[in-house]
Amino acid sequence: MEVLEEPQLARHRVTADNLLRMTEIGVVAHDARVELIEGEVIDMAAMGTKHRAVVMRLSRLLERAVVDAAQVSVQLPIRLSDYNEPEPDLALLKPRPDFYESAIPSGYDSLLVIEVSDTTLAYDVRIKAPLYASHGVGELWIVDVKARTLRCFRQPQPGGWADVVLLQSLGTMPLPGLPGLSVDLSSLF
């Protein structure tokens, strides 16, 4: 039997600016739920009702906790690099008077990124967590909707996190980069 070699196919990486242009001209629908990871346009998983409810609860809890000390971003992009522009469920951003009108927030603008995982836990832990760590995000929380747990990723370093904690019961959590501020997550689920 003949052994066939796998062909070396050319792949074209897309930049965040390319993706923006493709959206502007209609190649990618304006309402498409996609994000850019390592130069590839990735379809985001559909959001179920539990996922939406957790995002809405977290948004309300964070807004109340930070008032004007940070800006809460809900399902908006963060530009980590030319080839990485994920859309986390929530992010706590360093405050800016223009509310990031002049530039998409970067990883270094992100005090905390929160991913709510209903069907994407493995992807969020294996792909997105190291990406966030490598690009300056201060802290990452992954909320596992099914298990009703919270994974806290702290102390970013290239390729990963120095400290990862799995919390099975939720209570009051200090907010990174905001001394003295915390959020009570006991009513999240």
pLDDT (0 to 100) of residue 49 = 94
Pick the CATH number of 47-171 from 3.90.1570.10, 2.40.110.10, 3.30.43.10, 2.102.10.10: 3.90.1570.10
pLDDT (0 to 100) of residue 8 = 77
Q: What is the mean pLDDT of residues 80-104?
A: 96
Checking if the pLDDT of 73 tops 90, the result is yes
What single-letter DSSP state applies at residue 81?
Answer: B
pLDDT (0 to 100) of residue 126 = 96
- DSSP states of 93-159: E---TTTTSSS--BGGGEEEEEEEESS-HHHIIIIIHHHHHHTT-S-EEEEETTTTEEEEEEEEETT
pTM of the model: 0.92
Checking if the pLDDT of 4 tops 90, the result is no
Choice among 9-13, 44-48, 81-85, 179-183 with the minimum mean pLDDT: 9-13
User: Which stretch of DSSP H or E encloses residue 90?
Assistant: strand 90-93
User: Which stretch of DSSP H or E encloses residue 65?
Assistant: helix 49-66
Checking if the pLDDT of 10 tops 80, the result is no
* pLDDT band per the 50, 70, 90 thresholds, residue 131: very high
Q: For residue 90, which phi and psi values (nearest 5 degrees)?
A: -145, 155
Checking if the pLDDT of 1 tops 90, the result is no
Alpha carbon distance 20, 24 (integer Å): 6
Q: For residue 60, which phi and psi values (nearest 5 degrees)?
A: -65, -45
- DSSP states of 13-82: ---HHHHHHHHHTTSS-TT--EEEETTEEEEPPPP-HHHHHHHHHHHHHHHHHHTTSSEEEES---B-BT
pLDDT (0 to 100) of residue 12 = 79
Q: CA quadruple 16, 83, 76, 30: dihedral positive or negative?
A: positive
Q: How many residues does the chain have?
A: 189
Return the domain boundaries, the chain: 47-171
Q: What is the mean pLDDT of residues 175-179?
A: 96
CB 178 within 8 A of CB 66: yes
What single-letter DSSP state applies at residue 28?
Answer: S
Question: What mean pLDDT value characterizes the chain?
Answer: 94
